[in-house]
Amino acid sequence: MLLYGAVKIIPGQFPPPSLGKMIMTFGEQSPMGLLWSFMGASAAYTAFTGLAEVTAAILLTMRRTALLGSLVAAGVMTNVVMLNFCYDVPVKLYSSHLLLMALFIAAPHAKRLADFFIFNRAVVPAELPRLLPESWTRIAVPVFRTAVVLWFATLTVYQSWDSYESRFLYTPKSAFYGLWNVDEFVVDGQPRPPLVTDAARWRYVAFDYSSVSVRQMDDARLRFVNRINGKKKEMTMTRQLPKSTMVLSYAQPQRSTLVLQGMLDGKPMRATLRRIEAPKFLLSTRGFHWINEYPMNR
């Protein structure tokens, strides 16, 4: 719970939607991709959900607050489990295990909880027998427990921050970051005009921090991990599914023009790209409003 909370408070699990994600149509996104876009669109809400998970984790570390922690964890994880099942996120079993653990911790108190919340009956305090009889353990055990929790919490926060730094905070934007229209597309010496009947012809290209999205004329989207070698003037574009790698040389005669050359499906290819101004997306520019004169439901 602490780990899941930390990577939400420090926004590593749900980063803001990338440029490539922003130019996708709503229906193109997978259920999991839609969930990641929804969460990443609001850093404040993502941090709120992480704080709820961290709160549950801290409460679970002390016997006096373990019941409250299990109830908080059960509420939080019920929502997480439903999101994982309903949006096809591949951690269904693990999140279900965490929910069952929370319910298992609360189960011995089921009668007391029912008396308090349902039947309006008086509830006697739960017995918390001492685990070790020696008097010195009254101080030593809480100190040891607190030290372990602080050590684990510090390690978790450090790992989350380190991952956030390496993946997002200090990752430089691509030198070609932005949207590029494909003005000219030549394959095997044959120019291919921008016709909607030519499905495989590139329409435009979106360069993100370390990825590239290629939109074809039939609106199909190809996504690549991109590595740029400035010395060789080359970019290596790797696609995960299906696995493929394409090495393209590039030249930039003008700031607004980019020429890519290489092999595409075993044939020589040359593409001339022209930088276009990226639209101002409402999702990232709407901001927060205390008062809405009318619902902005688009």
One DSSP character per residue, 216-275 reads ETTS-EEEEEEEEETTTTEEEEEETTTTEEEEEEEEEEETTEEEEEEEETTEEEEEEEEE
How much is the pLDDT for 235? 92
Tokens of 199: 């499905």
Burial 106-122 (b: 16+ CB within 10 A, else e): beebeeeeeeeeeeeee
Q: What is the reported pTM?
A: 0.81
CA distance 48 to 243: 37
How much is the pLDDT for 297? 81
Per the DSSP assignment, residues forming a β-bridge with 224 are 212
In the numeric block, the tokens 């380190």 are attached to 162
Strands 202-207 and 190-191: unpaired
DSSP per-residue codes, 268-298 = EEEEEEEEEPPP--HHHH----S--SS----
Dihedral sign for Cα 138, 140, 141, 145, please: positive
Kindly list the structural domains of the chain, giving each domain's residue range(s) and its CATH number in brackets, ordered by start: 2-124+137-169 (no CATH), 178-276 (2.40.128.280)
From residue 70, give the alpha-carbon distance in Å to each of 26, 43, 206, 262. 37, 26, 45, 57
From residue 181, give the alpha-carbon distance in Å to each of 13, 23, 34, 56, 234. 31, 13, 26, 49, 20
CA distance 194 to 58: 58
Residue 279: asked if its preceding bond is cis (omega within 30°), the reply is no
Q: Where are any strands of DSSP class E within the chain?
A: 178-187, 190-191, 202-207, 211-216, 221-229, 234-239, 244-254, 257-264, 267-276
- Residue by residue, pLDDT tens for the chain (298 residues) are 999 999 999 988 898 888 888 888 888 889 999 999 999 999 999 999 999 999 999 999 998 999 999 999 999 999 999 999 999 999 999 999 999 999 999 999 999 999 999 999 999 888 887 777 777 777 888 888 889 989 988 998 888 888 887 777 667 778 899 999 999 999 999 999 999 899 889 999 999 888 899 999 988 888 898 899 888 999 999 987 778 889 999 999 988 999 999 998 889 999 999 999 877 888 888 888 888 888 888 7
| Of 293, 290, 246, 251, the residue nearest 272 (C-alpha) | 251
How much is the pLDDT for 170? 67
